[in-house]
Chain A
Amino acid sequence: MIKAILIFNNHGKPRLIRFYQYFAEDMQQQIIRETFHLVSKRDDNVCNFLEGGSLIGGSDYKLIYRHYATLYFVFCVDSSESELGILDLIQVFVETLDKCFENVCELDLIFHMDKVHYILQEVVMGGMVLETNMNEIIAQVEVQNRLEKSEVRPFLSSSKSFPLIYVFGFSQVSAIKYSLSVL
């Protein structure tokens, strides 16, 4: 079972958190801080496995993480999951993000947390691995996006046609995408 999935950046700012076991919000933040503390002090050339932090797990739990450019992807899993299998899953997830966002970068995750969640929901459900085939994941995500478009576009597009940036005369969309180096 996967107990939690955390994505945060090099400064420990959470970009997506998904707990499969209930923790109150302040505890969630503490866990993120602890996990960030544990993970960030590790070199890039050490192993990707880490015995779990005290807050989230106890001895049966492991942190399995990967570091892509500015982001850490951390999965907290128990002993029923295969370590290499989870590493592969992280890779599948990140590649899926890359396909769905076309050269994903941290800004995509920042501004589209909900979409990242929807993609994750097709990969992991309730702490168990749902699908590992990237094509299948992408297919399901796309069908749902189309469904959404067909329902909501009328409203959304009308509001989009007067983007707030023009109304207020400034643009924050100066984001330059720096894509994840590993990809």
Chain B
Amino acid sequence: MALKIVKGSIDRMFDKNLQDLVRGIRNHKEDEAKYISTCIDEIKQELKQDNIAVKANAVCKLTYLQMLGYDVSWAAFNIVEVMSSSKFTYKRIGYLAASQCFHESTDVIMLTTNQIRKDLSSPNQYDTGVALTGLSCFVTPDLARDLANDIMTLMSHTKPYIRKKAVLIMYKVFLKYPESLRPAFPRLKEKLEDPDPGVQSAAVNVICELARRNPKNYLSLAPLFFKLMTSSTNNWVLIKIIKLFGALTPLEPRLGKKLIEPLTNLIHRIYLFFSQILHHLSAITLVCFSWLIAFLFFITVLISLSSGMPNHSASIQLCVQKLRILIEDSDQNLKYLGLLAMSKILKTHPKSVQSHKDLILQCLDDKDESIRLRALDLLYGMVSKKNLMEIVKKLMLHVDKAEGTTYRDELLTKIIDICSQSNYQYITNFEWYISILVELTRLEGTRHGHLIASQMLDVAIRVKAIRVFAVAQMATLLDNAHMLTGNTQRNGICEVLYAAAWICGEFSEHLENPMETLEAMLRPKVATLPGHIQAVYVQNAAKLFATVLKSQEGNTDSTTAQEASQLMIDRLPLFVQSANLEVQERASCILQLVKYIQKLQQKDVEVSEEVCALFAGELNPVAPKAQKKVPIPDGLDLDAWINEPPSESESEDEQPKAIFSKEEPKHSRPRHTEVDEKELARRREARKQEQANNPFYIKASPSSQKVYQETPGVEHIPVVQIDLSVPLKVPGLPMSDQYVKLEEERRQKERAEKKKKDKKKRKEKRSGRGKKHDSGPESEEDITPAHMVDIVTEEMPENALPSDDDERDPADPHKALDIDLDKPLADSEKLPVRSHRAAEVLKSPAEDEEGENVSSLEPKKKSSKEKREKKKDKDKDRKVKMLFESGLSEAKSSKHKKKKQKREKEDKEKKKKKKHHHHHHHHGDKGGEESVQNGTVEEEEPLPAYDIQGNLQDGSQVVVSVIFENKCDSFLKSMEFNVLDSLNSKLQRPEGSGPHDSLTIPFQLPPGVSNEARFVFTVQSIIMPQKLKGTLTFIVKNEESSTHEKLDFKLHFTCTSYLITTPCYSDAFAKLLESGDLKSSSIRLEGVNMPFHHLLARICFHHHFSVVERIDSCASMYSRSIQGHHVCLLVKISSQTVSVDAKCDEPTLLGNVLDEIKQTFSQC
């Protein structure tokens, strides 16, 4: 034995610790992987040993290996073992490892629930702290649900160190278990005013995090935050609060006004804080600091003003000017932050930022990529019809200069974003845009070929006027395809050929020379392109072929048509051999078709019409959300069963219901029902009208002819002759720059014309004050599109619902946290608390899970039920404490008891016992309480706590649950429980035993262990409280001796323990009161110094009532006894006096209940 120990410790001495491992890895640079794998083998050996120190050391090394990228999840179980060590040192190692490598799908997490709970309630605050820290990293929905209540308790811990951690972790719990938010929120709010600044800051942190996603739910906290802002000295808190106000002010403009003054006062403090930070960063001149002040001031003012008060543009303007100086500063961090702030202003006041375009463009030249990206971001919001071309031109220059593909790709996507934003709102000349896109194709190695391609397709399809131009450009692209495909390694750009081929095929009627293009599309080089592009080539070659045939129709000389057929027949076999199925299939199909056509051609048969018919019809763009928006036709109920649902009664004879059965208008979809034809027509009309009035939503004419229809909305825009200013065909690859110049000229000409017109008009009118015209810069509206910008809207189904499209991502966890926090808590909202399995027959499975180990974990003697009670957060602490007292004190008098009701609030008070109606297996609640009457062996005995619960289902039985805990160092066994029966209440004993026999408790108690036993009582009348005397006998066994001990106690059955919380609706309640069967009675409580809702909560909790209705300082409440007595209360509060008027059909019961209520409040 001794030898073994020595050997063990020698082995251990040779174990590597973390430092040795690191050193070893550093010494094996060349064969690191091999070395580590031998280390992992050693670690596996170490994990097999029983010594927890060895295991912890191994786990610590695994944590290091995890950092190097090794998967250590195989050791998850060992990590849990180390976590459960009783030593802080090892526990900390275990939790660290768990927080690094556990995640939601780690299955051993299930095993940790009880361990974590035990650690959370550890007397050592650092055990608790370490558990909270670990839990914050791997909390799962199950853990959140099971532990929410324990964590909430910790929010009121005596140590601020624990409080702040508990507050912070609540955010994680909310995310995983949103139901906990409402019950926990009142306490979280309390923590905003915690005396410890760390806790306060944690609470602000959590609430800001919550409010960021759902600000409207937190508006009611604004006054509290306002107070905090003016009183707090913690800069972190201030920053968070200011950010929070930034989110709140848009919702409540009045807030903004209130904020200005205190914000101004804050500036100095924040300034000091930031100057400290910046001091570390680099030498910043004092001048810079003053700008920093200005910056902060204006940012904060901005936040407060940005809420849509239009007359603040002057101060915004000023603010932007200050920001400009900041951006011009040499310090890069300031520059960055300045740009960031600019982008915030841009969202609300785009105009004021736009005048600083020069500065922003200048930032594009900055050496710092972060700053360039910020500037790009700003540009996106700054473009207008007027400056779009100029900005894009500048960006194109940068594209050419940019080194590094990441930044260049970023530029490329930004250019496309800028141009295509808001449905091409700012593009006045689509030829220019196509040229830009074509220029972008010259970028080598970009990843964004598909983006350019989709833009080309989109523009060509939706802007009909541009098709002629686009087709010409695309034909050129196809012709020069070799330039794009030169480097097949990184040929993301060849995606544009996909678009080019499709456009050329689809709109081939606009092609100058279809034959040439056809030839270009069938070149052998095409076979090197990716399969999906080849497929498009083949298909569109067929379209082109049809066009060629058509153009030759009526032409007596059929050589061109035959040449085309021959070309197809010569080239297509290449594609028939393609490895790509799609290409192969299309090619062989088309090849056969062409062969057949060639035959017909040789017989001089006119085929062009038939061939064209293959590709007739127009494709319209369909909005991505169109399908979702198709309204459900009247009378169609998607939830209705098509067939008879499988039912227990196999009645086959019932007629199957028709899907479109008219007779059942569904309530679930009220807006579709009862919409008659007229209404539909009206809506359709309204929608059309709306679209017509929006110049950028011009719908194609319903006949879908290719007519450039002038809709009413654009009539007033003068349509300019295209042919004058812009050459339709730009030879070779186009230069977008030409368009910039042309556009300038065009606009000037337009202006001149307009001026002329105006002059004429003026002359006609003879108006005297013409001189103020035209001198100013042209405004947005003056710029007219070069083309009739005929953007075809994306198609939507008829009657599309004009609904909100901006649904949030359903996966967003914050969506579940969009909860109204101002509503009072409903009775059913509470956090699950664990309790004994036996008591839980009807409980939710959630609570059920951990039922068993409770007793071993209980730090105090609490009945499991009490734990459940904890969920009523308000009274929780008080109650637990009382229980605790009842266990500890040796008072001779009867003790407190608790009871609880099946799912409601409970009371604790003294009760007299009376009738019973309880049902065994239902958690009957009834508290028995045991007073330790002969204080003899007090430390040794199990001090019971008990719990009484009534149940409606059996009016004559009560179950008393008693928790026994052994607080002494000896073993307790042979416990026997006996109660002296009264006439009214009797302990149920097993059949065959006498009326005075005691019951044997079916377990023994080792030191420090607690367990629960339950006893059933039969009760006749419940209208009076009652006390029963009882005795517990047991044997105390220790090493030397065993003694026989006895403990006397009293069980106190109160009247309220027979009440069961029963919800009641106000109309039923009113009827009940009107019925007149009820006797009334009333009491007054003086000096009640608590908020009304606390008062109500207390009554609900301790006396099992539910609130029926509450109006101001008056509330009606209801409860029901297990024997069906109705108890109604009307509670009013004025100053510190509470009057309770009560009605009940049993006056004695009522009197006793009222006495008990009185007692509850006299205790507090």
**Residues of chain A at the chain B interface (Cβ within 8 Å):** 1, 14, 16-18, 20, 22, 24-26, 28-29, 42-43, 45-51, 80, 82-85, 87-88, 91, 110-114, 117-118, 121, 125-133, 136, 140, 143-144, 147-148, 151-152, 155, 158-159, 162, 164, 172, 182
Contact = CB atoms under 8 A, between A and B. Distances in A.
A121 B139 CA distance: 16
Interface in B121-156: 124, 126, 132-133, 136-137, 139
Nearest to B92: A118
A51 B18 contact: no
A151 B370 contact: no
Given A46-B332, A111-B18, A126-B169, A117 B96 contact: yes
A45 B161 contact: no
Given A51-B373, A88-B276, A46 B368 contact: yes
A80 B209 contact: yes
Contact of B136 (A126, A129, A148): A126
B68 A14 contact: yes
Given A25-B66, A43-B367, A47-B370, A121 B239 contact: no
B64 interface: yes
Contacts of A131: 164, 198
Contacts of B19: 111-112
A28 B101 CA distance: 11
B28 to A, nearest CB: 12
A172 B27 contact: yes
Interface in B5-23: 9, 12-14, 17-20, 22-23
B209 A128 contact: yes
A144 B96 contact: no
Given A47-B333, A51-B370, A110-B22, A129 B205 contact: yes
Contacts of A114: 18, 60, 63-64, 93, 96
A42 B371 CA distance: 12
Interface string B90-117: 0011001000100110000000000000
Given A87-B281, A125-B169, A49 B336 contact: yes
24 contacts: A14-B67, A26-B69, A28-B69, A46-B369, A46-B371, A47-B332, A47-B371, A49-B333, A51-B373, A84-B333, A91-B280, A110-B26, A111-B22, A112-B18, A113-B63, A113-B64, A113-B67, A114-B60, A114-B63, A126-B139, A126-B172, A143-B126, A162-B13, A172-B23
Given A45-B332, A47-B368, A172-B26, 18 more contacts: A25-B71, A42-B368, A43-B367, A46-B368, A83-B333, A87-B281, A111-B19, A118-B92, A118-B96, A121-B133, A126-B172, A130-B165, A131-B198, A147-B126, A155-B53, A158-B9, A159-B13, A172-B23
B277 interface: yes
B243 interface: yes
Contact of A130 (B69, B87, B93, B164): B164
Contact of A147 (B88, B96, B369, B370): B88
Nearest to A118: B92
Contact of A151 (B87, B104, B168, B239): B87
B212 interface: yes
B202 interface: yes
Contacts of A43: 367-368
A50 B369 CA distance: 8
A20 B208 CA distance: 18
Nearest to B73: A25
B1082 interface: no
Contact of B236 (A1, A18, A132, A162): A132
Nearest to A152: B89
Given A29-B69, A117-B96, A151-B87, A46 B370 contact: yes
A45 B17 CA distance: 41
Nearest to A107: B22
B185 interface: no
A80 B19 CA distance: 38
B136 A125 contact: yes
Interface string B696-727: 00000000000000000000000000000000
Contacts of B281: 48, 87
A165 to B, nearest CB: 9
B75 interface: no
The 8 closest A-B pairs by CB, nearest first: A126-B136, A47-B332, A22-B103, A46-B368, A29-B69, A47-B336, A148-B89, A88-B277
A159 B671 CA distance: 78
Interface in B49-63: 53, 60, 63
B343 to A, nearest CB: 11
Given A25-B70, A83-B337, A151-B88, A128 B168 contact: yes
Given A111-B18, A125-B133, A164-B20, A84 B337 contact: yes
Nearest to A86: B277
A143 B159 CA distance: 14
A172 B19 CA distance: 11
A87 B282 CA distance: 13
B24 to A, nearest CB: 9
Give the most central of B87, B212, B236, B367: most A CB within 10 Å.
Answer: B236
Nearest to B244: A80
B550 interface: no
Interface string B269-304: 000011011101110000000000000000000000
B305 interface: no
B432 interface: no
A17 B67 contact: yes
B367 A1 contact: no
A25 B69 contact: yes
Contacts of B87: 151-152
Given A82-B239, A113-B67, A114-B93, A46 B198 contact: no
A128 B171 contact: yes
Nearest to B93: A114
Contacts of A125: 132-133, 136, 165, 168-169
B1149 to A, nearest CB: 51
B124 to A, nearest CB: 8
Contacts of B337: 83-84
B4 to A, nearest CB: 17
B70 A85 contact: no
Given A111-B22, A128-B205, A80 B277 contact: no
Nearest to A114: B60
A25 B64 CA distance: 12
B335 interface: yes
Interface in B323-362: 332-333, 335-337, 340
B1083 to A, nearest CB: 48
A128 to B, nearest CB: 5
A122 to B, nearest CB: 9
A109 to B, nearest CB: 10
Interface in B150-202: 161, 164-165, 168-169, 171-172, 198, 201-202
Contacts of B169: 125-126
B1022 interface: no
A50 B18 contact: no
A49 B276 CA distance: 18
A161 B164 CA distance: 40
B817 interface: no
A159 B12 contact: yes
B206 interface: yes
B88 to A, nearest CB: 5
Interface in B1043-1082: none
Contacts of B273: 88
Nearest to A85: B239
Nearest to A115: B18
B892 to A, nearest CB: 42
A42 B103 CA distance: 34
Contacts of A14: 67-68
Contacts of B205: 128-129
B12 to A, nearest CB: 7
Contacts of A85: 235-236, 239
Contacts of B53: 152, 155
